[in-house]
Amino acid sequence: MHLVMPWFFPLASLVTWLGFRTTKDARAEGPSAWATACWLRALMALPLLFWLITQFTSDSGALS
């Protein structure tokens, strides 16, 4: 398997980790804060998710 954009993995992981760390204590803030935290977690995880998808769908990725 040849990694596509290997430099992006640490960047995407850092963004995802920071998003989850930021929203860690959102349950104590109430239901509206919890809903906002869920959206923030989803948005912050998108770069990592897209990077993982790219590994399996690109020509030089795992399926080639």
Tell me the pLDDT tens digit for each residue of 39-61: 999 999 999 999 999 888 877 65
Q: Model's pTM, two decimal places?
A: 0.78
For residue 41, the tally of other CB atoms under 10 A from its CB is 16
Q: How confident is the model at residue 62 (pLDDT cuts 50, 70, 90)?
A: low
Tell me the pLDDT tens digit for each residue of 2-33: 788 899 999 999 999 999 999 888 878 888 88
Question: How high is the pLDDT of residue 26?
Answer: 81
CB 16 within 8 A of CB 45: yes
Question: How high is the pLDDT of residue 60?
Answer: 62
Residue 1 confidence (pLDDT) above 70? no
User: Measured in whole angstroms, how far is the alpha carbon of residue 58 from the centre of its chain?
Assistant: 19
Q: What is the dihedral of CA 15, 43, 58, 11, to 10 degrees?
A: -10
Give the CA radius of gyration of the chain.
15
**CA-CA distance, 48 to 24, in Å (whole number)?**
19
